[in-house]
A and B are shown apart, each in its own frame.
Chain A
Amino acid sequence: MLSKEKFTFVEAVNDALHFSMKKDKRMICYGLGVTDPKGVFSTTTNLKKKFGSNRVFDVPTSENALTGVSIGAALNGVRSVVTHQRLDFFLLAMDQLVNSAAKWYYMFGSQKPVPITIRLIIGRGWGQGPTHSQNLQAWFNHIPGLKVVMPSFADDAKGLLISSIFDPNPVVFLENRWLHNTKAIIKKGDYRVKIGKSKVCVKGKHITILSMSYLTLEAIKASKYLYKKFKISAEVIDLRTIKPLDWASIFQSINKTKRLLILDTGFTTSSVAAEIIAKIAIEKFKILKFAPMRLAMPDVPEPTSLALTKNFYIRAHNIAASVLKSLKINYKNVEKDLKLVNPSDVPDSSFKGPF
């Protein structure tokens, strides 16, 4: 059955770009490597062939100016998708993102919207190291005027990318490299997922696990284990959008479970998890049965050596252990039970780098 065919996250992104460029005849797509033989991990493959070099083009290594260029184009009704092969390179463009893209609409009296989508790919493992692995969603979340999207599944990648492109505001679209080979059934044509709406991946009643990006896969793994072994039903909610956050769904789940664990791919201090915990503590303090918990990356740069990253990432066993702690269940063998099949620095055995 054709409709049940599964596609990868990469194919989903490529599909969304093709669909959007066909729909909006003025939309442009650019970034370093967008038209090179590798096509940004194959996400931009065939776009130039289909839509021409006037609309799909490679560019100079000038992250800041090219962000400004997308703003200027947007002011004249030309939407851009700008792609960066690592988020870390995009840090050179903070002036244009923060001072201009996020503010142009507001600071000029809400007259001219700035529809741009900035695709940032985030590395993990395989020695990506300090400057190829940063999950800085908290930075973008801090800036009024931006939207921040972080899909965890291939179908959501398509639906959220199309929604981002046709959103009239600047959207930062964060793609974890470890999700690129994951597969899902993907609807053809105009498939959109609403920005600002989370998804319940696993229904549960004992605890709410809020998650984002690659960590949602680990959360689902942990929830399956917890149910099988302890009959604990953990509700796993994939946030999908970081800004605006789906507070209504978050509150609804916590009202039910009265326990909260948040998983965050970013550094711990001032993380998105910190923000959620702050609001939950302020507004839901009385109903909580256990102090809210978070698992986020330690406040050190990600080191490169496999030896140094062995226990560095958050895995299903860390998640399961935290859940057990909140339910006051004393069990020591979680890590053994959820032992990794593959080396800790790859998403699956097929991944051979180099980045």
Chain B
Amino acid sequence: MKERLFLKLYKSMYRIRSVEEEIVKRYHEGRMRCPTHLSVGQEAVSAAFSQLVSKNDFAVSSHRGHAHYLGKGGKLKSMIAEIYGKKTGCSKGKGGSMHLIDLSVNFMGTSAIVGNSIPIGVGLGLSAKVKKTKQISFVFFGDGAIEEGVFYESINFATVKKLPVIFICENNLYSVYSPLSVRQPKGRSISKMVKAIGPKVLSCDGNDVIKAYKTINRAISSVKKNNGPFFLEFFTYRWLEHCGPNYDNDIGYRTKKEFEKWKKKEPILRLRKKIKNKFHTRLKNIENEVNKEIVNAFNFAEKSDFPDKSEAYKGLYA
């Protein structure tokens, strides 16, 4: 049982990482023409989430949303085609990397505006309560969103109304290139601060997929018992630049030492070490399967047609 879960978590993390790395590899070709925020280094939380979330549950996310979309079960082909601006994209080329949706798995959208999708996720939680459907709404955001007023408004409302919402903050220490030290007071714990507002909270190493799994599982159990919203803070680190396919440790906003420290906490290798040797051929098979899927998805995106330019003026009103 344990090994099966480990293999699934491994597959999910490996898949997210490999998708992002394929984007990195091809971005310079100039065919993915939109701002793209990659999740390399931050795969663990989404992988843990992917093994716990029900298809009927809702999720929304931010500009850095590829991993959450894939974790929720969003179609890979549609996401890659969207980044390529094709009509087969999940938003038909209207949204790009920052506006992903897959209604077939209740992944309801991602927003480019920091904190913007938080109240929308809360509204999905409210709708589940109104309709009495037992669905949970998962809301993904980063540490930057904690500084937006709408975050406090949303978490307060969700707490007052005891809504089935799980707020997931992936704290990667930076808002674009601005470190936490210039944005929040020294010594602050985001999760402790949020606890004072009223939801249940937990914080955890966001690069340890098994711990992340247990933490999300606890939150889900609590929300299912109608205990109201849960706030989770995961500590993690993005390896690449804020937006784009490159490493940017040379430009001077963070130190090589800090980067190396986080690289040692790399989530995929950490899990791999816990998986017994006898399963390593299985891992190889998983990797081959994922690699094939990714090649297919990129081929699909490359071969898909662009939307007709007349489509730009259509679909504004329902």
A interface residues, Cβ below 8 angstroms from B: 26, 28, 54-55, 59-60, 62, 64-78, 95-96, 99-100, 104-115, 144-145, 147, 168-169
- B318 sits at the interface (CB 8 A): yes
Interface residues on B, range: 35 or more
Check if A64 sits within 8 Å of B94, measured CB to CB: no
* Cβ contacts B119-130/A at 8 Å (1 or 0 each): 111111111111
Residue-wise, chain B 125-153 has the 8 Å CB interface mask toward A (1 for contact) of 11111110000010000000000011001
Find chain A residues with CB under 8 A from B111 CB.
99-100
Q: Let me know if B99 is at the binding interface, CB within 8 A.
A: yes
Nearest B-chain residue to A27, judged by Cβ: B130
Question: Is B295 interfacial (CB-CB < 8 Å)?
Answer: no
CB contact between A69 and one of B94, B113, B123, B128 (< 8 Å): that residue: B123
Query: Does B116 sit at the interface, judged by CB under 8 A?
Result: yes
Question: Who on chain A is nearest to B151 by CB?
Answer: A65
**Judging by beta carbons under 8 Å apart, are A59 and B116 in contact?**
no
Stretch at the interface among B84-92, B212-220, B266-274: B84-92
Q: B interface vs A, CB < 8 Å?
A: 58, 60, 89-95, 99, 101, 103, 108-109, 111, 113, 116-131, 137, 149-150, 153-154, 156-157, 160, 314-318
A347–B317 Cα distance when bound, in Å, is 37
- Can you list 23 contacts pairing A with B, beta carbon distance less than 8 Å? A28-B130, A64-B153, A65-B157, A68-B123, A69-B119, A71-B119, A72-B122, A73-B126, A76-B123, A96-B116, A105-B315, A105-B318, A107-B91, A108-B91, A108-B99, A109-B89, A109-B91, A110-B92, A110-B94, A110-B314, A110-B318, A111-B101, A145-B317
Is B120 a contact of A59 with CB atoms below 8 Å?
Answer: no
CB-contact partner of A106 in B117, B119, B156, B315, under 8 A? B315
Inter-subunit contact B150/A168 (CB<8 Å)? no
CB pair B157–A66 under 8 Å, yes or no, is yes
Q: Which residues of A contact B121 (CB under 8 A)?
A: 72
- How far is A267 from B13 in the complex, measured between Cα atoms in Å? 55
A65 touches B153 (CB 8 A): yes
Q: In the complex the two chains form, is B91's CB within 8 Å of A68's CB?
A: no
Contact: B123 with A73, CB < 8 Å?
A: yes
> Which of B120, B125, B315 has the most CB atoms of chain A within a 10 A radius of its CB?
B120
Is B318's CB under 8 angstroms from A72's CB? Answer: no
Chain A residue at minimal CB-CB distance from B128: A76
Which B residues are in CB contact (< 8 Å) with A76?
A: 58, 123-124, 127-128, 131
A144 vs B94: C-alpha distance in the bound complex, in angstroms?
A: 14
CB-CB under 8 A for A72 and B94, given A60-B160, A62-B157, A145-B317: no
Closest 7 CB pairs of A and B: A72-B123, A68-B119, A110-B315, A65-B153, A113-B318, A109-B92, A62-B153
CB atoms of B127 and A73 under 8 A apart: yes
**How far apart are the CA atoms of A329 and B118 in the complex, in Å?**
60
Asked if A168 contacts B318 (CB within 8 A), the reply is: yes
A258 to chain B, nearest CB (A): 32
Contacts of B122 in A (CB 8 A): 65, 68-69, 72
**Partner among A68, A73, A145, A169 whose Cβ is within 8 Å of the Cβ of B150:** A68
- Is B127 in contact with A95, judged by CB distance below 8 angstroms? no
| Chain A residues near B103 (CB-CB < 8 A) | 111-112
Q: Which residues of B contact A99 (CB under 8 A)?
A: 111, 113, 116
For the complex, give the distance between the alpha carbons of A28 and B129 in Å: 12
Nearest CB of chain A from residue B254's CB, rounded to whole Å: 29
* Residue of A28, A73, A109 with most chain B CB atoms under a 10 A cut-off: A109
Instruction: Check A77 against B127 for contact (C-beta < 8 Å).
Output: yes
Q: Which of A71, A106, A111, A113 contacts B120 (CB 8 A)?
A: A71
Q: How far is the CA of A343 from the CA of B124 in the complex (A)?
A: 48
Which residues of A are found within 8 Å of B92, using beta-carbon distances? 109-110
Closest CB-CB distance, B115 to chain A, in whole Å? 8
- Interface contacts beyond A76-B127, A95-B116: sample of 14 additional A-B pairs, CB < 8 Å, sorted by A: A55-B130, A59-B157, A65-B157, A68-B116, A71-B120, A72-B122, A72-B125, A72-B126, A76-B123, A99-B111, A100-B113, A100-B117, A107-B95, A112-B103
Chain B residue with the shortest CB-CB distance to A114: B318
B108: chain A residues at CB < 8 Å are: 72, 75, 112
Known contacts A65-B153, A105-B316, A113-B318; A73 and B130 CB within 8 A of each other: yes
| Closest residue of B by beta carbon distance from A111 | B103
Q: Which residues of A contact B315 (CB under 8 A)?
A: 105-106, 109-110
